[in-house]
A and B are shown apart, each in its own frame.
Chain A
Amino acid sequence: MLSFLARRLLSSIPVVGAVLALCFLLVRIAPGSPFATERSLDPATQIMLEKKYGLSGTLPEQLFRYGSNVLRGDLGDSLKFRGRTVGEIIGQSLPRSLLLGSIAFTLALGLGIPLGAWAAAHHGKKTDSLLNSFALLTLSTPTFVLAPVSVLLFSFGLKLLPPAGWGTLSQLILPAICLAIPFVGVCARLTRGGLLETLGSDFIRTARAKGVSENKLVYLHALRPAILPLVAYAGPLAANILTGSLVIEEVFAIPGIGQFFVNGVINRDVFLVSGVVLVYCLLLLFFNLLADWLTAMLDPRIRLSS
Chain B
Amino acid sequence: MKPSRSTWIILGFLAILVSAAVFGPAVSPYGVGELSSNRLTPPSPHHWLGTDLHGRDLLIRLMYGARISLLVGFVGASISLLIGVAYGLTAGYLGGRTDNLMMRAVDVLYALPRIVLVIVLISLFDLKLKNLFDGTFLTAFANHARLLLLFVGLGMVEWLTLARIVRAQVLTIKERPFVLSSRLIGQSTPVILFRQILPQVLPIVITYLTLALPAVILEESFLSFLGLGVQAPLASWGTLLADGASMLNPIDTPWWLIVFPATALVVCLLSFNLLGDQLRRLGTDSGR
A149 in contact with B259 (CB, 8 Å):
yes
Whether B48 sits at the interface, judged by CB under 8 Å, is no
Q: A136-B270, A163-B250 are in contact. Are A144 and B111 (CB under 8 A)?
A: no
A250 in contact with B112 (CB, 8 Å):
no
Whether A246 sits at the interface, judged by CB under 8 Å, is yes
Q: When each residue 1-27 of chain A gets 1 if its CB lies under 8 Å from chain B and 0 otherwise, what string results?
A: 000000000000011001100110011
B248 in contact with A156 (CB, 8 Å):
yes
Name the one of A27, A155, A261 contacting B120, with C-beta atoms under 8 angstroms: A27
Interface size on A, residues (CB 8 A): 45
B123 in contact with A31 (CB, 8 Å):
yes
B225 in contact with A247 (CB, 8 Å):
yes
Distance of A19 from chain B, by nearest CB (Å): 5
Q: When each residue 47-66 of chain B gets 1 if its CB lies under 8 Å from chain A and 0 otherwise, what string results?
A: 00000000000000000000
Whether B185 sits at the interface, judged by CB under 8 Å, is no
A15 in contact with B115 (CB, 8 Å):
no
B124 in contact with A280 (CB, 8 Å):
no
Q: A148-B244, A156-B250 are in contact. Are A29 and B116 (CB under 8 A)?
A: no
Whether B107 sits at the interface, judged by CB under 8 Å, is yes
Q: Give the interface SS of chain A, mostly helix, strand, loop or mixed.
A: helix
Scan residues 201-220 of chain A and give those whose CB is less than 8 A from a CB of chain B.
Answer: none
A277 in contact with B113 (CB, 8 Å):
yes
Whether A145 sits at the interface, judged by CB under 8 Å, is yes
B270 in contact with A140 (CB, 8 Å):
yes
In the complex, chain A residues whose CB is within 8 Å of the CB of B115? 246, 262, 265
B266 in contact with A145 (CB, 8 Å):
yes
Scan residues 261-281 of chain B and give those whose CB is less than 8 A from a CB of chain A.
Answer: 262, 265-266, 269-270, 272-274, 277
* Cα distance A15–B265 in the bound complex, in angstroms: 36
A140 in contact with B269 (CB, 8 Å):
yes
Name the one of B116, B255, B269 contacting A265, with C-beta atoms under 8 angstroms: B116
In the complex, chain A residues whose CB is within 8 Å of the CB of B228? 266
Distance of B100 from chain A, by nearest CB (Å): 11
Q: A149-B259, A251-B245 are in contact. Are A144 and B112 (CB under 8 A)?
A: no
* Cα distance A261–B214 in the bound complex, in angstroms: 25
Distance of A121 from chain B, by nearest CB (Å): 19
Scan residues 78-129 of chain B and give those whose CB is less than 8 A from a CB of chain A.
Answer: 104, 107-108, 110-113, 115-117, 119-120, 123-124, 127
Whether A49 sits at the interface, judged by CB under 8 Å, is no
Q: When each residue 180-201 of chain A gets 1 if its CB lies under 8 Å from chain B and 0 otherwise, what string results?
A: 0000000000000000000000
Distance of A16 from chain B, by nearest CB (Å): 8
In the complex, chain B residues whose CB is within 8 Å of the CB of A148? 241, 244-245, 248, 258, 262
In the complex, chain B residues whose CB is within 8 Å of the CB of A156? 248-250, 253
Distance of A271 from chain B, by nearest CB (Å): 14
Whether B32 sits at the interface, judged by CB under 8 Å, is no
Q: A31-B124, A145-B266, A247-B225 are in contact. Are A280 and B111 (CB under 8 A)?
A: yes
Whether A139 sits at the interface, judged by CB under 8 Å, is yes
Q: A163-B250, A246-B226 are in contact. Are A140 and B112 (CB under 8 A)?
A: no
In the complex, chain A residues whose CB is within 8 Å of the CB of B242? 144
A22 in contact with B221 (CB, 8 Å):
no
* Cα distance A144–B240 in the bound complex, in angstroms: 12
In the complex, chain A residues whose CB is within 8 Å of the CB of B265? 142, 145
* Cα distance A22–B241 in the bound complex, in angstroms: 33
A247 in contact with B222 (CB, 8 Å):
yes
* Cα distance A285–B124 in the bound complex, in angstroms: 29
B108 in contact with A149 (CB, 8 Å):
no
Whether B218 sits at the interface, judged by CB under 8 Å, is yes
Q: A148-B241, A247-B225 are in contact. Are A136 and B116 (CB under 8 A)?
A: no
Whether A152 sits at the interface, judged by CB under 8 Å, is yes
B116 in contact with A277 (CB, 8 Å):
yes
Distance of B1 from chain A, by nearest CB (Å): 14
Name the one of B104, B111, B226, B273 contacting A139, with C-beta atoms under 8 angstroms: B273
Distance of A208 from chain B, by nearest CB (Å): 22
Whether A223 sits at the interface, judged by CB under 8 Å, is no
A147 in contact with B245 (CB, 8 Å):
yes
Whether B238 sits at the interface, judged by CB under 8 Å, is yes
B120 in contact with A29 (CB, 8 Å):
yes
B123 in contact with A32 (CB, 8 Å):
yes
Distance of B69 from chain A, by nearest CB (Å): 13
A140 in contact with B266 (CB, 8 Å):
yes
CB closest chain-A residue, reference B128: A31
* Cα distance A28–B259 in the bound complex, in angstroms: 40
* Cα distance A148–B254 in the bound complex, in angstroms: 12
Q: A15-B104, A23-B112, A277-B112 are in contact. Are A149 and B258 (CB under 8 A)?
A: yes
Query: 24 A–B contact pairs at CB < 8 A?
Result: A15-B111, A19-B112, A22-B112, A23-B116, A27-B116, A133-B274, A136-B274, A140-B273, A141-B269, A142-B218, A144-B221, A144-B245, A145-B241, A145-B262, A145-B266, A147-B245, A148-B248, A149-B262, A156-B249, A156-B250, A246-B226, A247-B226, A251-B245, A285-B111
9 extra interface residue pairs, beta carbon distance < 8 Å, beyond A140-B214, A142-B218? A22-B108, A30-B120, A136-B274, A140-B273, A144-B221, A149-B258, A265-B119, A266-B119, A277-B112
